[in-house]
Structure 1
Amino acid sequence: MNLAQYLPVLLFILVGLAVGAVCLGMGQLLMPHKADAAKNSPYECGFEAFEDARMKFDVRYYLVAILFILFDLEIAFLFPWAVALKDVGVAGFVAVLIFLTILVVGFIYEWKKGALDWE
């Protein structure tokens, strides 16, 4: 291995660090040093906050969010399968049909249990 092959990588890292340092330095030089009262005041949509920011969320919010992530990730597994559909053959097609059947059964179960209802 020749060390000259690593020169572009080292140069890229050094240029990146230099650009970052220059941006931080310019920010320190150009920033206003005295913040006024309006900038330091709490705001929420243009008016004073009327509730505590640490209020509790309903558990259903988290349940719907987790279910969305779960089903979204499972659907994301279909894209590589669709790209390689010709290569996987009948066995791959049957495996995806089993996967989709389990996915649909799980979705129907969650629907029947009322996990997707927001009342």
Structure 2
Amino acid sequence: MIISSLAIAITLIISAIVMMISFILSKKTITDREKNTPFECGFDPKGSARLPFSLRFFLIAVIFLIFDVEITLLLPLATILKLVNVFSWLFVGVFFILILLLGLYHEWNQGALDWAD
């Protein structure tokens, strides 16, 4: 009990010291007006720095991200094949892929995958 509370106290002290050192070292001591202004070839910016982007591109990127994460969830199925019952492994794998295919069909049906109008 004493050892664990001592370890917690040491951990908190070390983390507080590291946070204080980083706070002290990260301060900018010299503030220059020219360095704080936006830089665009020596001239003041004329337009907005934020450009609009296609919402369809964003939707495709989100769908890709979702299916990419699902692939990482499918990879452990191959490694546990020898450790579990084959029928339960097959059921879980087919059920998971079926859910993915139903989601893909839904996205396709809603028109989220149609790039051109």
Give TM-score scaled by structure 2 length: 0.70
Where do residues 54-73 of structure 1 align in structure 2 (5 Å cutoff)?
54-73=50-69
On the 8 A contact 1:42/1:48 being kept in 2, the answer is: yes
Question: Of Structure 1 and Structure 2, which has the larger fraction of its residues in helix?
Answer: 1
On the 8 A contact 1:85/1:93 being kept in 2, the answer is: no
On the 8 A contact 1:43/1:49 being kept in 2, the answer is: yes
Question: Any stretches of 5+ residues in structure 2 without a counterpart?
Answer: none
| Pairwise CA distance, 1:63 | 0.6
The letter of the residue matching 2:4 is Q
Question: Any stretches of 5+ residues in structure 1 without a counterpart?
Answer: none
Give TM-score scaled by structure 1 length: 0.69
| Pairwise CA distance, 1:15 | 0.7
User: Structure 2 vs 1, CA of residues 49 and 68 (structure 1 numbering), >3 Å: closer, same or farther?
Assistant: farther
Q: Distance in 2 between matches of 1:13 and 1:107?
A: 48
Q: Distance in 2 between matches of 1:105 and 1:14?
A: 52
The letter of the residue matching 2:29 is P
User: Structure 2 vs 1, CA of residues 19 and 106 (structure 1 numbering), >3 Å: closer, same or farther?
Assistant: closer
Q: Distance in 2 between matches of 1:72 and 1:60?
A: 18
The secondary structure found in structure 1 opposite 2:26 is helix
| Pairwise CA distance, 1:106 | 4.3
Q: How many correspondences in the alignment?
A: 115
Where do residues 26-65 of structure 1 align in structure 2 (5 Å cutoff)?
26-28=25-27, 31-37=28-34, 39-43=35-39, 49=45, 51-65=47-61
Task: Give the match for residue 10 of structure 2.
Answer: 11
| Pairwise CA distance, 1:35 | 1.2
Task: Give the match for residue 115 of structure 2.
Answer: 117
| Pairwise CA distance, 1:51 | 3.5
The letter of the residue matching 2:21 is V
